[in-house]
Structures are given as structure tokens and as C-alpha cells.
Homo-oligomer: A and B are copies of this chain.
């Protein structure tokens, strides 16, 4: 099977390699990548046998919308586009409609696995029509880990359901990471614990909390036992926000996932306007000392 792959960033490049290792003819295009296989999106499309299959792996939002728009003009009825990026699920219906006007099929596919996916395989959550899913199954099977298909692939529902499932996956991921992080901080604060990385490593096998994320934290601590080289400044990339927004839309309580999201917001603030207000209030009613802004950084 021959597949066009648009976007050769960190994820796209690794996926191209895995597909090739598994015997699929993956042809990649990226305007910025030195190792692009085609010098334009047009060339990529022309090089594919009909009916074509194109996997889009570019940043969510405007970049994905732009590629979908271009493909809607370049592809032909019966061709199939998969958005494998981290798009918000609300984009998928729009993408599907744009392509459907030209008779082009559409699937959305959430992809998990990060930089380790090339070796371990990627877990895939797909949304769309069953016939389109079947058509792409050789690609899905090549990308996912070996073993039972059901352990790493799901046809989650209609268009959008794949990204929805991936969004929830990432929301959970926020909560899991924060849970480990709170435990890590507490261990590090307790004098009687003599070697925090050793405690975490001892949870790797046999415990209730063993997981891949724990393995990664053990790995990070083996490289930098006090995490001295990095700051706590932590980005968020959208899925956590969308998960909380969906929880609100469905009236689902999400205290853990939202707490994890807010902790990231707070990590990026040099000082907290809210806590300035609390400090000002304490000073007003109780005469409690405030710390002048100038010296705040010199704790």
C-alpha cells in the first residue's frame, strides 16, 4: 500500500520510518524538512495511485485547516484523508464537510506514543465510516504495536470520535502526571526519605501505581536526581483545556484534570495576581505583613 504523509515533524518522521519498516510505501512531504520525498503537495498527490490515501500530520488549528483546504482542491472523488494530528474534535466535522463537497472521504485519528512510538508502536483512536476505517487498516496495523489489535486500536465512532477519545486520553494524562508529581514533591519534602529516585524506582514492578509514566519519571530522575537542570515552567498544548471544557459541557465533575491544568497555568506565572489580592486582603483586615513586590524573588 502506498500512503502520502503530509508533515515530517518529530511525529511524522518517526511514523514514516515505522511504516517503511513494516513494508508500506510511505511518501512524505514537508515544506521545511530536508528529507521531504516530494517538492510540493501537488507532486506528492500526483505520485500516489488512485484512489489515494493521505495522512496529515501537521500542527492543529490553522496549519491543519490549510492543508485540508489544499487537499480538497488537489484530490479526487474517492480519495481519503486522515487527520492524525492533535486537532480539536470540533474541527473534524468541518474538515469532513469541506472534503465531502469534493467527494473526498475523511477520517480523524488520535495518535499516542510520543517519541517512543517508532519503536514501540502508536496507539490509534479513529473516527469515521467503517468502510474508510477498513481501507486504512493496513496503515493502522503497521503503526500500532504488535499483538491484539484491540489493545492499541479502536474505531471510536463517527467523524470526530477519534480525536474526542484522544482528547480524553490526554486529559487523563494531565491528571496522572500531576498525581505522580504531587507524590514526588511530598517525598522530596520529607527528611526521612533518603533517596527519592530510589523510592520511585522501587515502584516499577509489582505496585498498584506502576505505569509507563512512572518508568519515564524514574528515567528522568536517573539522569537528573534532583531535577535541578529544569524549571517547573510547563506548557499545555490544548487537549487538557478541551477536556475540561467538555466536562463542563457535559456537566461531568473533573476536579483532578482541572487541578492538573490549573497547576500548569500557575507554573507559568512569575507572580500570581490572585495571590496579590489575597495578600492585600490579609493586610487590610489583619495588618498582616505583605512582602513587597521588589523582594519577592529573593526568598
A residues touching B (Cβ–Cβ < 8 Å)? 10, 89, 112-117, 120-125, 127, 144-145, 147, 150-154, 156-158, 160-161, 164-165, 168-190, 192-195, 198-199, 201-214, 216-217, 219-221, 224, 227-235, 237, 241, 243-248, 250-268, 270-288, 290-293, 295-297, 299
A247→B184 CA distance, assembly (Å)? 11
* A248-B246 Cα distance, complex, nearest whole Å: 12
Whole-angstrom distance between the Cβ of A180 and the nearest chain B Cβ: 6
Given the known inter-chain contacts A279-B232, A292-B229, please indicate yes or no for A183 contacting B208, CB distance below 8 A: no
Contact call A257/B172, Cβ cutoff below 8 A: no
Q: Is the CB of A123 within 8 A of B180?
A: no
Q: How far is the CB of A266 from chain B (nearest CB, A)?
A: 5
Contact A234 B279 (CB under 8 A): yes
Please, which residues of chain B bring their CB within 8 A of the CB of A256?
Answer: 175, 178-179, 182, 256, 259-260
Given contacts A205-B152, A259-B259, A293-B229, contact A250 B280 (CB under 8 A): no
Identify the closest chain B residue to A167 (Cβ).
B186
This protein's copies in its complex = 4
A160 to chain B, nearest CB (A): 6
Give the chain B neighbours of A89 by CB distance below 8 A: 192
| A208 engages B125 (CB within 8 Å) | no
Cβ contacts under 8 Å, A176 to chain B: 175-176, 179-180, 209, 211
- Contact check, A234 vs B275: say whether CB atoms are below 8 A apart: yes
Query: How distant is A232 from chain B, measured CB to nearest CB, in Å?
Result: 3
Known: A208-B285, A270-B297, A282-B234. A192 touches B152 (CB 8 A): no
Q: Is the CB of A273 within 8 A of B202?
A: no
Report the minimal beta-carbon distance from A222 to chain B, rounded to whole angstroms: 10
Q: Choose from B10, B230, B231, B273 the contact partner of A184 (Cβ within 8 Å).
A: B273
For A220, the closest partner residue in chain B by CB is: B280
Given contacts A244-B244, A297-B297, contact A210 B207 (CB under 8 A): no
Residues of B within 8 A of A180 (CB): 172, 175-176, 277, 281
Whether A250 contacts B189 by the Cβ 8 Å rule is yes
If A179-B179, A189-B252 touch, does A206 touch B117 (CB 8 Å cutoff)? yes
Residue of B nearest to A204 (CB): B151
Contact between chains at B265 and A203 (CB < 8 Å): no
Q: A233-B296, A261-B248 are in contact. Are A253 and B206 (CB under 8 A)?
A: no
Report Cα–Cα, A258/B254, bound state, in Å. 9
Check A209–B169 contact: CB distance below 8 A: yes
With A193-B156, A231-B276 already in contact, the answer to whether A220 and B281 are too (CB < 8 A) is yes
**Chain B residues in 8 Å Cβ range of A151:** 201-202, 204-205
